[in-house]
Structure 1
Amino acid sequence: MDTDEIKPGMKGYGRTVFSGKQIESFDIEVLGVLKNWEAKNDMILIKMSGGPLEKTGIIAGMSGSPVYIDDKLIGAVSHGWSYSKDAIAGVTPIRAMIDVMEMDSRNRKNLAAKANRIWSTSLNTQDTNVIAKLESYGLLHKYEFHENTDTREPFIFNLVPIQTPLIVSGFSNESLTKISPLFGRVGRFSLHSSNGEYGSPEDLVNFMPGSSIAVEIIRGDLSVSAVGTLTYRDGNDILAFGHPIIQIGNTDMPMATAEVHTILASQASSTKMASPGKIIGRITQDRRSAIAGKIGEYTQMLPCQVKIQGSLNIEYNFEVVQDRILTPILVQMAIENAILTTEKTVGEKSMMIKLDIGIADREEPISIENKYFDSGPSWLPIYNVIEPITILLNNEFKTAKIESINLVADISEHNNVAFIDNIKVSNKWVSPGEEVLMNISVKQYARSYASIPLTIKIPDDVAPGSSIQVIVCDAMNSKMLEMTSAPGSFLPSSFEQLIHHLENEEHNSNIIVKLRLNKKGLTYMGEDFPSLPNSFLSIMSLSNQSGVTPLRSEIVKRIPTEWFINGKQTINLFVDNKS
């Protein structure tokens, strides 16, 4: 039934699950229709009654509950008011939801996720009867203007998508708080989640409009699922929720049945306490008006393994949805949670991370290893794990399908930071080909100084009268210097070059010694060409094509240590004119 056929006072019924898997009916009465609620979309306002609704009001998890008038489907319960004593809801019209089902995902652009909406419009644009009814329930609020303001009084509805219960298992509250902005209006509840089993055909006989449905985002030792209600089923095609989960557009997430254990009544927002069941299909659209999917088609999730070695040795195995935007966020959430629930959250921590990323059509995994130190509860080193995943999924060269993520985090509660305190050389005046003895003084935290000897050889072709800058620094300072002297080296021109950059990131336990010479070169298409002849350098510098950037010649030595190196020291050497 279209919204044009719906009139205030019409009565009908809705269907949802209040307990277990049994679908029950509740009564509805139409209060009115908000025309053009959002661009090209109407919103049907109804008052619900029956079952536990008199006590609970709108229940989180009812999103998607189908509503019928004269046995014709008009839409899905989707919006509501917080702290309202009456079960008054907004219904997303079924025509808007069917548009999602019919959407050709290949020819549609993803819609950006939006924050909760609060709707406002001018008083004279809506039916006065609808306005009067909303005022009688205390659900309409007028803006107050100063005197002599020449404008019509607008009003505002605090009408927002009904909370979607996010059923979680294995997660700490700190980890969940970080993803609240992503999932918007979701209620977080710790319940046992899905075991990942797949449903058989006989399980779906009673899976019909009004049944509870779960969308799995993470599953395994750590699990997260969003729970709502099935609105419409046409064979194996389904519509649910009446509003988005995240509004990410084209997606690929497992769809499962769900069972309601009880309803938690609350003045703020009553909630269905539910658990996901067997996987029966997949969700392929997450749009403004609904989520859509297909029964019997299954999605391949990304297997992840996280091993924590420290005060406790624990292994976590889980899977996350494969998505350019969601995958890095969910992996970060899971890894942070694994560490936070296993190790201490406050105080100094040292961590050695080894990350292996399996890529389709590539025999060997991309392997990244580094050492980090964190002095607080932030676990900033986890960003360094997520960055390579994000880069691979969003690279400009080819579609990279990640097949596995394996992380080993070796954590110590000791401070292993060492600062580069001072450098000394045996001679500041040098000759071409001469060997110079350098002594690097390193101060360990709360410990004595350590002395590291190093012999550096002056290049044979260094120009008399020139100077050589010697820099001894940590990995971060080294990267900053390279970005200044050779920015082109950070712009890979192929997928394999990108992987090379990821795998050869400077190690934080290295002391890096740089001899910066006054011999110039250039970087072309991501490759370094040092010590070019002046004639060729002039030609390339004046090149009429992009991809050519300056490069300063330098000699680099790395000294591996057992510490997390911090700091930078510099000294200048002078080449004797007589030489």
Structure 2
Amino acid sequence: FDRRNYSMKIFILIICFFSLSLSGNTVYKGDKGFMITEFEDGLLDTFDFIVKGHIKDAGNGFPSLLVEFTDSIIRECGIAAGMSGSPSYINGELYGALSSTWAFIKKPMGNITPIEEMYKLRKIEGSSRQFSKNKLYINFRPPDFSAFTDSLLKEFQIDIVSANTSNKTYPLTPGHLIGISLIQGDMNAAVMGTITERRGNEIFAFGHPAFGLGSVSLPMVSGKTITTVSSNFISFKLPEMGNIVGTVKKDGYCGIYGILDEKPDTLPLEISVNNAKFNYILANSPDLTPFLFLMCIYHSSYKAFLQDKLGGFKANINIKSDSFTINFHAYYTRREAPHNIIYDMYDIVSYLNYNSDNKIHINNIKLSLSTINDDPFRTINKVSVVPIKTYNKSEFIIDINLKKYRGDNANIKLSVKPRRLKPGNYKLKILGRGDYISLLKNSGKLKYENIEDYINILNSAPKDNYLYIIITADKRMPIISDKSYPYMSIKDKSILKKTTPKYVNTIVYHDSVKANFVPIGIGQSTFEILEEK
């Protein structure tokens, strides 16, 4: 092991990555400047810095300026989250926006994004999907909410911080707070930064991407710094979120760009839990809305103490867009709330946003949750068929054993007459709607490659509960590219050379019976049809 060569490689790597340059610029090492930002009580303060050098490209695709702060307050507190975008001046002129720093550093150093780069935000179109470590300021934070949101929002590199809200509009000049409102109403959430420059009704801020979504229409919200919290890790501003003041139009690689007094695209959401009603206004974005929807479900169910009771609840979700309406019904256990409903609802909203050839604009969502004192769920524990061997056109008696959570088992009997069954061995399955839909999809009987099919499946969910009866033959059929070939009859044998088919048992009979409970799981049994004598 050559320690000298190893150290040299590390040295070369660092030099290539940061590539400090002090020539070819009008700003030089040792030049002095100052930053303007809110530090406490919404008041603007100035903080001095000295230039350490230029970074040609720190991995973000544009040059930035490395500075060290000399002001005693910043040296004690450090650069705080929320200062991103703070206008920085050198030689009396705006150079750019404070945009980044590092954790645990002993000297308060940071990078400044040139304002010339931020002006380019007006013209960007595509999504960069670059994330900066942001704080999500929120006025709701029970003990287990952080664990839930940490897993939910880790893709966006967001930390949750408690904050206050008001119905005020705060100053909209360089150095003051500005942010992107994600949720407003009975719960409020926003990412906050600082205004770098205002040109008429144009706002340039942050100096780094919020979510890197490119062209957007997100609510722009004013704010005020209550105080700045000092931390050995990274300090942060504690803000008060104010009114919506315009629209963020661009979320790009070097900041955000917004227009004041322009109405943003938002999504009204109403959630009712029995007699309690909660109203929210969500940022309407395919990348963000599904996550925000889940946060609101968590908030409303927590506030209504939905998860603290036994029994069950019925959910009805109504989604309206310009081209369709969804009205979906489902049952859930309260002992697992709100997580059981959260992920079902997420699947629906995210599918509408991500799996359509045409962009879908959702106008509003209403979710109604009504509790049921008795537990309506029954697990299908065991299924038997009598007789096991019989002739075609005979009647079958199906004995179903049901298991109740913290209750006694119960038995029910069903009578079916499946006609036109050829002699052979068969399998009977008894199941609920969710498993029934999955079985039909896996067998090729049901397809929803396009959004219209998916919407039809949701709207076909009955208000009442049903037991579904499925009979499958022993013979298996292949599924290739979601197309089924009954009884192994594939005429074009070249298909088998291109792909490996999935084989499933052929469904020969299916029916449903209304039930006064919610069936869970799958019960199955086998029987045989004999040759007619």
TM-score (norm 2): 0.83
Q: Are residues 1:368 and 2:328 paired? A: yes
1:516 and 1:178 map into 2 onto residues whose CA distance is 41
Aligned partner of residue 489 in structure 1, secondary structure: coil
Whole-angstrom CA distance in 1 between matches of 2:394 and 2:69: 90
Whether the 8 Å contact between 1:216 and 1:224 is mirrored in structure 2 is yes
Contact persistence 1:373–1:564 (CA under 8 A): no
User: Residues 499, 410 of structure 1: CA spacing in aligned structure 2 closer, same or farther, 3 A cutoff?
Assistant: same
Q: How far off is 1:210 after superposition?
A: 1.5
Task: For residue 290 of structure 1, report the CA deviation from its aligned partner.
Answer: 0.8
Distance in 2 between residues matched to 1:508 and 1:4, nearest whole Å:
73
- Tell me the residue number matched to 2:192: 227
Matched residue, 1:281: 246
3-state SS in 2 of match to 1:90? strand
User: Does residue 511 of the first structure (1) align with residue 467 of the second (2)?
Assistant: yes
What do residues 455-487 of structure 1 show as CA deviations (whole Å, max 9, x unaligned)?
21131x333x3344322234454344334422x
CA distance in 1, matches of 2:302, 2:492: 52
Please point out which of 282, 304, 317 is paired with 1:320: 282
- Superposed counterparts of 1:52-131, under 5 Å: 52-84=73-105, 86-103=107-124, 105=125, 108=126, 110-114=127-131
1:481 matched to 2:435: no
Q: 2:52 aligns with which of 25, 31, 50?
A: 31
In the aligned structure 1, how far is the partner of 2:492 from the partner of 2:462? Answer: 29
1:566 aligned residue: 520
Equivalence for 1:126: none
Query: What's the Cα RMSD here?
Result: 3.6
Task: Give 1:499 shift.
Answer: 0.8
Aligned counterpart, 2:235: 270
Quote how far apart the aligned CAs of 1:489 are.
1.8
Match for residue 435 of structure 1? 395
Q: Any conservation in 1 of the 2:473–2:505 contact (CA below 8 Å)?
A: no
8 Å Cα contact 1:398/1:495 also seen in 2: no
Instruction: Answer yes or no: is the 8 Å Cα contact 1:30–1:47 preserved in 2.
Output: yes
For 1:296, the equivalent position in structure 2 comes to 261
CA distance in 2, matches of 1:37, 1:475: 53
Give yes or no for the alignment of 1:169 onto 2:139: yes
| Per-residue deviation, 1:567 | 3.5
Distance 1:419 1:12, change over 3 A: closer
Letter in 2 for 1:571: S
Residue 63 of structure 1 aligns to a residue whose secondary structure is coil
Structure 1 residue 240, shift from structure 2 partner: 0.5
Q: What's the counterpart of residue 511 of structure 2?
A: 557
1:496 partnered with 2:449: no
Structure 1 residue 444 corresponds to structure 2 residue 404: yes
* Separation of aligned partners in 2, 1:412 and 1:392: 29
User: Which residue of the other structure, out of 28, 32, 39, is the alignment partner of 1:18?
Assistant: 39
Superposed counterparts of 1:139-150, under 5 Å: none
Structure 2 unmatched ranges of 5 or more? 1-22
Distance of 1:83 and 1:425 partners within structure 2: 69
Matches of 2:143 and 2:196, distance apart in 1: 31
Residues 147-226 of structure 1: matches in 2 within 5 Å? 164-180=134-150, 181-184=154-157, 186=159, 188-192=161-165, 195=167, 207-226=172-191
Q: What are the superposed Cα offsets for residues 253-302 of structure 1, whole Å, 9 maximum, x if unpaired?
A: 11122122223333333332221223221112222211111122221210
Residue aligning to 1:389: 349
Letter in 2 for 1:361: S
**Is the partner of 1:382 in helix, strand or coil?**
helix
Q: Distance in 2 between matches of 1:573 and 1:336?
A: 46
- Alpha-carbon offset, residue 375 of structure 1: 5.3
CA distance in 1, matches of 2:384, 2:59: 70
Percent sequence identity is 21
Measured after TM superposition, the shift of residue 245 of structure 1 is 1.8
Worse-superposed segment, 273-282 or 45-54: 45-54
Secondary structure of the corresponding residue to residue 111 of structure 1? coil
Query: Which amino acid is the alignment partner of residue 502 of structure 1?
Result: L
Letter in 2 for 1:462: L
Render the CA deviation track for 1:481-517: whole Å, top value 9, x for unaligned. 334422x62343x432221122335899532211235
2:446 partner SS: helix
Deviation at 1:76, TM superposition (A): 0.8
Find the counterpart in structure 1 of residue 430 from structure 2: 472
Q: Distance in 1 between matches of 2:528 and 2:236?
A: 75
Kept after mapping to 2: 8 A contact 1:475/1:508 = no
Separation (CA, whole Å) in 1 of partners of 2:222 and 2:336:
41
Letter matched to residue 15 of structure 1:
I
C-alpha distance in 2 between matches for 1:60 and 1:542 = 60
Displacement of 1:426: 4.0
Q: Which runs of 5+ in 1 are unaligned?
A: 117-160
Q: Secondary structure at the match of 2:35?
A: strand
Q: How many corresponding residue pairs? A: 505
- Residue 350 of structure 1: aligned partner: 312
**Letter matched to residue 497 of structure 1:** D
3-state DSSP of counterpart to 1:41: coil
Aligned residues of 1:217 and 1:224 also touching (Cα < 8 A): yes
Return closer, same or farther for 1:484/1:86 CA change in 2, 3 Å cut-off.
closer
Against the structure 1 CA distance between its residues 387 and 38, is the aligned structure 2 distance closer, same or farther, given a 3 Å change threshold? same
